[in-house]
A and B are shown apart, each in its own frame.
Chain A
Amino acid sequence: MSKISLRNIVKKYPNAEHCSVSDFNLDIEEGEFIVLVGPSGCGKSTTLRMIAGLEDITSGEFILDGEVVNNVSSKDRDIAMVFQSYALYPHMSVRENVGYGLKLRNYPAETTKKQVDEISKDLFLTQYLERKPKELSGGQRQRVALGRAMVRTPKLYLMDEPLSNLDAKLRTTTRSEISRMHRAKGAITIYVTHDQVEAMTMADRIVLMSMGEVQQIGSPKELFTNPKNCFVATFMGMPSMNLIEGSYKAGNFSCDSFTIAVSDTDKKILDDAGYDGKSLFLGARSSAIRSGKKYEEAFPNSCFETTAMNVEYLGDSVNVFFNAEPNNLFVGTLGTGEREVEVDEKVTLVLDNTKLHFFDSETEESIKYTINQVK
């Protein structure tokens, strides 16, 4: 039996037309790191706040350790939470901030002190213990917020965009810090973010939400390699997946700029699914877009002419934005070992047709999703 179950959770604010969260279902096993990700306003924070007991659950059941805890107040749910704003108590020192939860739970002063000292050492906060939050830097505040959650050993850790107020460099180091802490504590962590990189790097399982609905639940690899629909496909991965509207006929995909042959496996799938002669979306990650003699020879049936519009230099690789006339824009990630592309240069692109995705043009659902899942 799962440690945590969320069954048909719905959140509808009074006077609101639509549900903020509709029919959310999730079972979480012991020790899992779950990341709720999605664009702002998708309902991920609301879901987290319902789990925390900060919002009422309109309908559905939240089961913790086999008990329905919908009406149990936050303080009795045995959870710890890190807030986006950190929510440090401005009038308390770092020591008091970190120890406040223990104090409220009537831990002896000795134990509290020992535990606070331990966690502070772990988070390099020892020398700041007597300072007030406003005397700390952003990164230090963030660590205090983390320490305040980590000092206890609750059933569940909740994190609401804890890294969004940090600069890029700190974000990377703190990210691994959180992962390390999670492994050490082994308790379930539910982490909310809008940043798919955080989701990919930290999660055991990702829950991707949009407009209050769950789009897909799965491991980072699953979401990346087998997106359930166009939304998942474009949300995960940087740069975003290229989607080209076109039609399929007898093993060939054609759009207004080019026609390419799909792979034999894909041809069988598409034919079986009855897409022959129908319109669909072709999805290609930037890594499936190649250039150069070697690839032209490997995939002779999926080449087409484009113009390079803009080049972003990333160090090991470059992102190149291409325009396939009349108006199909592409982004491709080329390794520095491949040919160098200049702006306005005419380039022959190759689609690695073993790595393509196809989506129904009406429902935007992935056509290969169930087949890949079985595999």
Chain B
Amino acid sequence: MENTMKLNPARKTKSLNRNFLMRNMGLIASYTFLIVMAIIIIYPILLTIMSAFNVSNTLYSTSFFPENFSFTENFKSLFNDTAYLSWYTNTFLLSIVTMVLSTVIVVVSGFVYSRYRYASRKSALMSLLIIQIVPSGSGLIALYAMASSIGIYSSENATLYTYIFMTLIYTALGTTMNTLLMKGYYDSIPRDLDESAKIDGATQLQIFTEILLPLVKPMIVVIAIFCFLGPIGDIIMPKFLIASMSSDSKTLAVGLMGLINDIKDSNYNVFAAGAVLAAIPPVLVFYKFQDYIVGGLTSGGVKG
């Protein structure tokens, strides 16, 4: 084959051409596939953004671009006619407090499991592994009943107490898998560094704060993001625990779901405006720390 090609230049060009076309066919198919998928992903999102700026009186719209563009109209009615602002603050306060609490717990206990050798260490890790098998929704009934039995719903500050209650639940649930992830990341940092610092004269606390913390920062970021995004995206727990409360007490997820299911007295475009505003912080966080998330995921996931 090699020989014939050398002997016959015409044939060589021909086969090269065909090859070229064939290869390009594959490439064209690949691009088509990738672009179609990109459109499928981006289309509903863009449509929602467009709707957020469309003011219409009809229930539906047949055009992609706003028929009646207004930059602020939908947002105005979002803030005036619904309790959107308090949903927003409720949700982000809940997420941020949860994030801080769980991250602190995870970072510290991951350090302990990685660096201390003590009798109950193995059983502690094992119980974390077992506890996280139990689906997080399974205890909801009891949690709700517990909350009402200790008088959270009948108290004057029912909303505040419910949110504290939810924060603690999210924190507890967020610390199992993440602690194991964090511990794995600590384990990847050679113990030589601890020992070297110890000989340099560092206390255990200094080793933790000055040597290990800066080195596990990528994982801390990942875990903080997971713990931040968790409560924002969750609808199950708030739906169940704050369903009967006043509109002001809702989270974004519950509030927006209510908005859409009462579509008669509200309007799709207002919902779209609310959705766009709600999506901005998580999307920004996600894109800002994209590399960390990808890194954390692959390091944790691939290890399995």
A and B touch in the complex (CB under 8 A): yes
Which A positions have Cβ atoms within 8 angstroms of B? Answer: 52-54, 73-75, 79-81, 83-85, 87, 89-91, 100-101, 104-105, 148, 158
User: Provided the pairs A89-B211, A100-B197 are in contact, do residues A75 and B192 lie with their beta carbons within 8 angstroms?
Assistant: no
Across the interface, B193 reaches (CB within 8 A) one of A74, A79, A87, namely A87
The residues of A that contact B190 with a CB separation of less than 8 Å are 85, 87
**A336 → B minimal CB distance (Å):** 45
Would you list 26 pairs from A and B whose C-beta atoms are within 8 A, ordered by A residue?
A54-B195, A74-B195, A74-B199, A75-B198, A75-B200, A75-B201, A75-B202, A79-B199, A81-B195, A83-B196, A84-B192, A85-B192, A87-B192, A89-B193, A89-B197, A90-B215, A91-B214, A100-B200, A101-B199, A101-B200, A101-B201, A104-B200, A104-B202, A104-B206, A105-B201, A148-B200
The interface on chain B, measured as residues whose beta carbon lies within 8 A of the other chain's beta carbons, has a size of 16
- Pair B203/A91 contact, Cβ less than 8 Å: no
A91 neighbours in B (Cβ, 8 Å): 214-215
The residues in B between 185 and 244 inclusive whose CB is less than 8 angstroms from any CB of A are: 190, 192-193, 195-203, 206, 211, 214-215
In the complex, what residues of A have CB within 8 A of residue B203's CB? 75
B193 cross-chain contacts in A, Cβ below 8 A: 87, 89
* B interface residue numbers (CB < 8 A to A): 190, 192-193, 195-203, 206, 211, 214-215
CB pair B206 A74 closer than 8 Å: no
Instruction: Determine how close the nearest CB of chain B comes to the CB of A56; give it in whole angstroms.
Output: 11
Question: Within 8 Å CB of B211, what residues of A?
Answer: 89
- State the CA gap A89–B203 with chains docked (Å): 16
Chain A residues with CB under 8 Å of B201's CB are 75, 101, 104-105
User: Which residue of B195, B202, B206, B214 contacts A87 across the interface (Cβ within 8 Å)?
Assistant: B195
Cβ contacts under 8 Å, A158 to chain B: 199
CA distance A374 to B199 in the complex (A): 42
- Contacts A83-B192, A104-B206 hold; do A52 and B214 have CB atoms under 8 A apart? no
**A322–B16 Cα gap in the complex (Å)?**
62
Say how far A100's CB is from chain B's closest CB, in angstroms: 5
Contacts of A101 in B (CB 8 A): 199-201
Inside 8 A of B206's CB, which chain A residues have their CB?
A: 104
* Beta-carbon contact of A81 and B215 below 8 Å: no
Nearest CB in chain A to that of B192: its residue: A87
Given contacts A81-B196, A81-B199, A85-B192, 19 further A-B contacts (CB under 8 A): A52-B195, A53-B198, A53-B199, A54-B198, A73-B198, A74-B199, A75-B200, A79-B199, A83-B195, A85-B190, A87-B190, A87-B192, A87-B195, A89-B193, A91-B214, A100-B202, A101-B199, A101-B200, A104-B206
